[in-house]
Structure 1
């Protein structure tokens, strides 16, 4: 098949056009997030969230705190295969910025890093047929193995020639990649990784945007969108789904870059005037998670310090007293809960957050 003959089944529509417009607007705001001295820390934090979420989608049970510890070179108790998955994923993501997403060799090299010691054919296209099952039900039969190399080559060539917006054609690429299912194992994490690589080549913000986390939160919707595209022989619905996630991720990133989120409290906000000192006190009482505390962003430090001093607090109170937009506060609380630093008590309007395991003077 020649490059010009390969046309993935996709139809542009008004919903996609609108989502591209919204994503482009939010991208301008999110770009601020990656500027300044805080960007290195933020990128590291987002990379950890990305690796954790990507592997959680593949049923890896390690917590965000354990994933962080593995990156820091610490020993972690857990399934050896799951620990290997985490180490491999970090090795693969180390290749991300320099990887050429238009290179088949780069694709195979990344798969080798991602699946080293996990798959017999790591770094090679599959040599056998493969089907995707939901229980006992076959939901997708991938093309025969002998066609894989040619189809991936055609797909990459199409992407290079396509005049669609990168946000659109990268999502089409993602769907087509999963349809081809080019590897024996690791297709899901590689498809999402390559989607990031394609968009990162266009705009570096996408190298560090934790979209995997949103996919994990909307995992059934992700699989449903893939299945609907198969059934309809058109990936438009999947493109809409992915663009919606990008809009949300970019909107969240733009909110996180709001000056009022990271600014130190200057008025009577109720926050500690010595948040670093309070966090140091928590770290001394909670030595096993001291490094995790050090890797938190400044707004997360302030939330922990406030909860340490004031006790259980409602989101609205935290938002008002710490001058953190509620949307950003929700993201911060979710991250701190995942790290098992805080816990939620109650539901809906009565929900309060509190320090989970630390109490003043405990363990000192």
Structure 2
């Protein structure tokens, strides 16, 4: 057993969340493997990448991220487009990594920050503080301690007997506390928690929990700050377990209505003939729909995420002239 043990107080609420999450995973896993087609896996991965980068102020939409990954032209900042390509490469390589390997950790950072950071794949050489505006929220340990602190944390991860659900949250917090890299620590922490969880239950590699974190971004940072204040991971563990629970509830609900959603997408594909490009309003008219939000949520976005249709102008997803057509497979 390693000498280092991250400070943590297990609470009844944590254990109750672990039990509930485990039950949700069980309910999902029985049918998820057959339902999780390559297209759906890709759609979830796109949502994960877009949300994780949006937390770091990347402005690209889900539609634009999809266009980048399809190799189509997108009007956006070059750095933001590079972030998308890097993130997809990192998540794609995740299956070959071990969570307690420093070599794999550095390789992941090198992929995530390729072309964005001169010392990508290397621990930081300078001090770093985390600010909101002009307010200092956290001063990370000095660079001289980073390698040893990460060695201790990875050794703890390899040996801990905590449930993976809790251990992954603790690692995520401790990683952000150490802040081992000059940049990219937030997206790395979320990536590595996903990796840890995927070793416990493979379907969690495609659970877009980052979309929940993005929705509750203020609470995410508040939980990190509260954990710093009390000098232990417990507040952040509670937040992340709640986020995982919410993401799984959404996934289970989606599974329960998957046949209905598939019917809706099939109806859309039936009215969108090959070689024809139509506006959203024209598609709604053909489908006899009047509620634009429901059309986008239940018809248009699932079809885009599944790669069944594409925009004629992905560089300007909100253009009034935007049309949609069947994607050539």
TM-score relative to the length of structure 1: 0.77
Query: Matched residues in 2 for 1:264 and 1:140: separation?
Result: 44
- Matching residue of 1:285: 277
- 2:110 alignment counterpart: 112
Q: Output the CA distance in 2 between the equivalents of 1:236 and 1:272.
A: 42
CA–CA separation in structure 2 for the residues paired with 1:209 and 1:84: 23
Give 2:316's aligned residue: none
The Cα offsets for residues 48-85 of structure 1, whole Å up to 9 and x where unpaired, read as: 00111111110011111110001111121111111111
Separation in 1, partners of 2:219, 2:75: 32
Could you tell me how far 1:264 is from its partner in structure 2?
Answer: 8.3
- Counterpart pick for 1:139 among 137, 140, 148: 137
**1:102-123 superposed Cα distances (whole Å, 9 cap, x missing partner):** 1000000010000011112100
Q: Does structure 1 conserve the Cα–Cα contact (< 8 Å) formed by 2:265 and 2:298?
A: no
Rg comparison, structure with higher value: 1
Matched-pair contact (CA < 8 Å) for 2:173–2:233: yes
- Residues of 2 paired with 1:59 and 1:111: CA distance? 18
Structure-to-structure mapping, 1:23-34, within 5 angstroms: 23-32=21-30, 34=32
Task: Measure, in 1, the Cα distance between the counterparts of 2:248 and 2:89.
Answer: 25
- 2:211 matches 1:213: yes
Secondary structure (helix, strand or coil) at the match of 2:214 reads: helix
- 1:212 and 1:36 map into 2 onto residues whose CA distance is 23
Please state whether the residue corresponding to 1:119 is helix, strand or coil.
Answer: coil
CA distance in structure 1 between the aligned counterparts of 2:292 and 2:68, rounded to whole angstroms: 33
In structure 2, runs of 5+ residues without a counterpart are 310-319, 325-329
Residue in 2 aligned with 1:81?
79
Q: Which residue of 2 aligns with 1:310?
A: 288
> How much does 1:286 deviate?
3.6
Contact 1:102 1:156 in 2 (8 A): yes
The whole-number CA distance in structure 1 between the counterparts of 2:73 and 2:21 is 40
Q: What is the CA-CA distance between 1:279 and the residue it aligns to?
A: 3.4
**For residues 34-183 of structure 1, what are the structure 2 equivalents within 5 Å?**
34-36=32-34, 38-183=36-181
| CA positional deviation for 1:37 | 5.8
**2:18 matched to which residue of 1?**
20
Aligned pairs, number: 310
- Alignment partners' CA distance in 1, 2:28 and 2:165: 15
> What SS does the aligned partner of 1:56 have?
helix
Cα contact 2:33–2:203 (8 A) shared by 1: no
Sort the Cα spacing of 1:46 and 1:278 in 2 relative to 1 into closer, same or farther, 3 A. same
Other-structure match for 1:262: 259
Relative contact order (alpha carbons < 8 A, sep ≥ 6): 1 or 2 greater? Answer: 2
Distance 1:37 1:273, change over 3 A: closer
The runs of 4+ residues in structure 1 deviating greater than 3 Å are: 263-266, 271-275, 304-308, 329-339, 356-360
The Cα shift of 1:5 comes to 2.1
SS of residue matched to 2:137: strand
